[in-house]
Structure 1
């Protein structure tokens, strides 16, 4: 159970080995990362959570976009999966932020967090004067997102025909639709309501985890893509502020990297966790 009496949905994907928690990006859900988990079943027992308002986890009507409540969700999931610690976390975008928030509150839970482009903006961005609203294009894009389709197949066909989904792994796209929509009188409807997604984007620039990054003692790997904007632009700065962190640049990747190349992402997780007894900074 998380804060506000939210019961966080946790999906067990099976496998053999130490526990791995997969933590999803805004607007998605845990099942999107099953193509990654399937490739890790000899190294890990994989789990994924759904943050409040996403997938199978409900959200209270009075939620105000406070990202630290997402941190509560990540912490609740981590405690249930590995109450004695030893957990590996892989977080994507907002999901990476949630894991960092959880590690800040309870450092002993995680042996390693791998964060693909966390959303942790500097307290006062140089161009925005400290504005706490999220990127206008992302907020408005979420508000305008089409919430319904006549069928699951119609949703898959629609997304597959245009960016960014036309570039993602086909299995991931089908999982996104199968577990991200529910039957409705119109056909199928998004579980993550566009208004909830917009509120999440608005809150992404307002939390102040940036100030707490130097207090996070957990080992972290921060991965940044190559487009040089938004999350990719701030990723190196996040890594610099974390006390025990390795930064990895993937110049050919975008913010959708884990969805475009789940096999490569799984290989990277294996590589990064193979040497947990060594110093990441050497």
Structure 2
């Protein structure tokens, strides 16, 4: 379904089916909702899963001449969540950027969520931000090959090199199948590399850090031990939240939702049982 958000954008929300309480899956920068179908499938006996595509990702368009503003990702999360659970009480899983957007939504719409599982959300202290050379993620996004001669060629390319070399094969196929569009040259990325780069570049500029203590929603913050920025800040995010529990998995990394969908689905199910009974 398509639901209205800010800037006259209609956000695409995918219904993945299942049987049970509704759960919203919220994706990371550069990806899209379909990448989380393997997680949804493993939760299907106990939840009804939905996933959204944020603006400029997957099937949701980017406003023309839009300078990336992370607060608008929060608008998209609210639009999707309210469409799924207009009376509130939703459970949500957010990965990276998707975790930050869910926290924005929870701050602006108290009661919208009963529980958020935030996997290394991109929420940094903006007072610590400093001008520096573009991060490897920004440089990598700007160098990303935007098109291939076919879907099959794209799958073969991504499956042969890191980080996607370690992804569950279904995730790679879903990333390509729903993240590329037919084009004169073959197929082209729906998420423009420059849009992805700008999203990475501006990830420390939103002010969610300053309002974490005002968020009343129960949050399980998940962190890994891979040493990257989101992993380092995850326990600090949990400390600042009003009602949160921190879970660290030393055997995981920032891409684990794509590498081990079964393990992440189990974590989400355990969080629902533990936090909501």
Band the TM-score falls in, shorter-chain normalisation: over 0.9
Match of 2:113 among 97, 110, 114: 110
- Partner of residue 39, structure 1: 42
- Partner of residue 65, structure 1: 68
CA distance in 2, matches of 1:277, 1:226: 27
Q: Is the 1:89–1:114 contact (alpha carbons within 8 Å) kept by the matching residues of 2? A: yes
Match of 1:11 among 14, 31, 35: 14
CA offsets 1:97-142 (integer angstroms, 9 cap, x no match): 01000000001110000000000011222xxxx3377952221211
Matches within 5 A, 1:194-205: 194-205=193-204
Instruction: Assess, with a 3 A threshold, how the Cα gap between structure 1 residues 12 and 84 changes in structure 2: closer, same or farther.
Output: same
CA RMSD for the aligned pairs?
1.2
CA distance in 1, matches of 2:135, 2:126: 18
- Partner of residue 271, structure 1: 270
Give how far 1:276 is off. 3.2
- Partner of residue 249, structure 1: 248
- Tell me the secondary structure at the aligned position of residue 202 of structure 2: helix
Q: Where do 5+ consecutive residues of structure 1 fail to align?
A: none
Show structure 1 runs of 4+ deviating over 4 A.
Answer: 132-135
Q: Is 1:20 aligned to residue 23 of structure 2?
A: yes
CA distance in 2, matches of 1:134, 1:249: 30
- Partner of residue 82, structure 2: 79
Q: Under a length normalisation based on structure 2, what TM-score does the superposition of the two structures give?
A: 0.96
Matches within 5 A, 1:1-282: 1-125=4-128, 130-131=129-130, 135-277=134-276
Q: Is the 1:23–1:89 contact (alpha carbons within 8 Å) kept by the matching residues of 2? A: yes
Instruction: Assess, with a 3 A threshold, how the Cα gap between structure 1 residues 229 and 15 changes in structure 2: closer, same or farther.
Output: same
Q: Under a length normalisation based on structure 1, what TM-score does the superposition of the two structures give?
A: 0.95
Q: Where do 5+ consecutive residues of structure 2 fail to align?
A: none
CA distance in 2, matches of 1:239, 1:271: 18
Aligned length: 274
CA distance in 2, matches of 1:134, 1:207: 19
Instruction: Assess, with a 3 A threshold, how the Cα gap between structure 1 residues 52 and 26 changes in structure 2: closer, same or farther.
Output: same
- Tell me the secondary structure at the aligned position of residue 214 of structure 1: helix
- Tell me the secondary structure at the aligned position of residue 14 of structure 2: strand
Instruction: Assess, with a 3 A threshold, how the Cα gap between structure 1 residues 22 and 132 changes in structure 2: closer, same or farther.
Output: farther
CA offsets 1:178-223 (integer angstroms, 9 cap, x no match): 0000010111000000011011111101111100111101000000
